[in-house]
Amino acid sequence: MKGSFPLESFSQLETPFYYYDTAILRETLAAITTHVRETRNYKVHYAIKANANPKLLRIISAYGLGADCVSGGEIQTALDAGFPSDSIVFAGVGKTDKEILLGLRNGISCFNVESIPELEVINELAMQLSTTARVAFRINPDVGAHTHANITTGLAENKFGIAMEDMDKVIDLVSRLTHVRFIGLHFHIGSQILDMADFVSLCNRINELQEHLSRRQIVVGNINVGGGLGVDYQHPDRKPIPDLSSYFSVFRNHLKLHAHQTLHFELGRAVVAQCGSLISRVTFVKQGAIKQFAILDAGFSDLIRPALYQAYHKIENISSEEAKQTYDVVGPICESSDVFQKASELNKAHRGDFIAIRSAGAYGEAMASCYNCRQLPASYLSDEIHV
Ligand SMILES: *Cc1c(COP(=O)(O)O)cnc(C)c1O
């Protein structure tokens, strides 16, 4: 099983490039919108940072998802791709004045505020523009996620959010500020989370915080549980659509929402990971002293997740049916960390073979760089390529 790659079309193209299977993307989006429609007070915002390819964003915005942005550049990119400004939420620990002003001028739906100094600056800038900013507080719930240490965000030691002990203090402050309106609580505990118990812990923590606020006669309109739902990197063909049923059931069964509260989600990886593959050619097969290397024309400048997070991606030789051999699959970049996978079992590789690095739709193209003066990878949608 080699997936459904149009090899003939690929042979016309320079490698490396990202290939996006829009059927999988659309199926994922349809599944999300079905779940959301069942419960009218749910709203899903796509986390732009996972993949900001304008062609993908057009498709995603057409399904009615909102946008979750973490920079001014992302707000502009979301607006350009057709996301309505009142569906845009803006998080980030270090929002600059310029970014805040961009959000205010476009009337975005919510600033997810991560500190007291940030709240004061938003109030001041909103005053200058004679407007009022809608703000939610990003609370650090001190809930661990069972995922890679670099991608947990909801522990007390992480830089994100406002500590739970400080929640009352910011709520007192916001009531004294004239140009900000407190509309919700925001959380985001990490990424690539497959253990639903982590989201149950988040729900329990939110219930405690809501009970605490109720005792102060405070009920906010919006609860935002962030993103983080993981995908199956081992089996992209068997499980192309993430386990959305289990995910949404956790919140349906464990989170106590008040009447009229809207529950917001910010999914990134789960939306786009499985639709993308990085396609490259084998430049050389090299016999080392103790190992055999498949040297690709793609490197960590194209896909940095293996080097940065020791992330696993399934790798396939989509040109060969010959018996499998063991290779270290590496890139051409002058760094020892430029390795996609050690001891990878691939169908016997030859110079020029196409190699597909699967499940690369999220945090792949978006994190590409020009290191070593390399060009950014190109990208093609399956729609464009089947000529
Ligand atoms: C990165 C991020 C997300 C998306 O995370 P995924 O793991 O890709 O779903 C959601 N919300 C915030 C605030 C983020 O920073």
Q: How far apart are CA 66 and CA 246, in angstroms?
A: 22
Average pLDDT (241-269) is 97
Instruction: Report the pLDDT value the prediction gives residue 158, as an integer from 0 to 100.
Output: 74
pLDDT tens digits for 51-73?
999 999 999 999 999 999 999 99
> What pLDDT does 7 receive?
95
330, 366 in Cβ contact below 8 A?
no
Q: Which residues fall within 8 angstroms of residue 40, CB to CB, at 6 or more apart?
A: none
> Which token pair is 16?
């490396």
pTM given for the model: 0.96
Q: Tell me what percent of the residues of the chain surpass a pLDDT of 70.
A: 95
pLDDT over 50 (residue 238) = yes
Ligand 1 atom having least distance to the Cα of 193: 7
CA of 268 to the centre of ligand 1 (A): 6
Average pLDDT for the chain: 95
Q: Decide whether any atom of ligand 1 lies within 6 Å of the 186 Cβ.
A: no
Q: Lowest mean pLDDT: which of 11-15, 355-359, 383-387?
A: 383-387
Q: How far is the CA of 188 from the centre of ligand 1 (A)?
A: 7
Residues 92-106, mean pLDDT to the nearest whole number = 97
Coil, helix or strand for 282? strand
What DSSP string runs through 73-121?
HHHHHHHHTT--GGGEEE--TT--HHHHHHHHHTT-SEEEE-SHHHHHH
Q: At what angle do helices 244-254 and 22-38 cross, to 10 degrees?
A: 20
Ligand 1 atom closest to Cα of 267? 9
Instruction: Output the pLDDT for position 1.
Output: 40
Is the minimum distance from the CB of 268 to ligand 1 under 6 angstroms? Answer: yes
Confidence band of 123 (pLDDT split at 50, 70, 90):
very high
Residue whose CB lies within 8 A of the most ligand 1 atoms, among 188, 189, 365, for a mutation test: 188
State the average pLDDT over residues 363-378. Answer: 98
Can you give the pLDDT at residue 160? Answer: 81
**Is any atom of ligand 1 closer than 6 Å to the C-beta of 50?**
yes
Rounded to an integer, the average pLDDT of 97-122 is 97
Average pLDDT over residues 222-241: 97
- pLDDT at residue 152 is higher than 70: no
d(CA 278, CA 96): 34
Give yes or no for residue 48 having a pLDDT over 60. Answer: yes
Q: How confident is the model at residue 159 (pLDDT cuts 50, 70, 90)?
A: confident
| Token duo for residue 55 | 């062609």
d(CA 329, CA 348): 12
> Cα(267) to centroid of ligand 1, in Å?
6
User: How many Å apart are CA 369 and CA 269, to the nearest integer?
Assistant: 19
> pLDDT tier at 143 (50, 70, 90 boundaries)?
confident
Residue ranges of domains in the chain, CATH in brackets: 7-17+274-384 (2.40.37.10), 22-273 (3.20.20.10)
The best mutation among 28, 48, 49, 146 to test binding of ligand 1, ranked by most ligand atoms within 8 Å of the C-beta, falls on 49
Pairing of strands 42-47, 262-267: parallel
Q: Is the confidence at residue 387, as pLDDT, over 70?
A: no
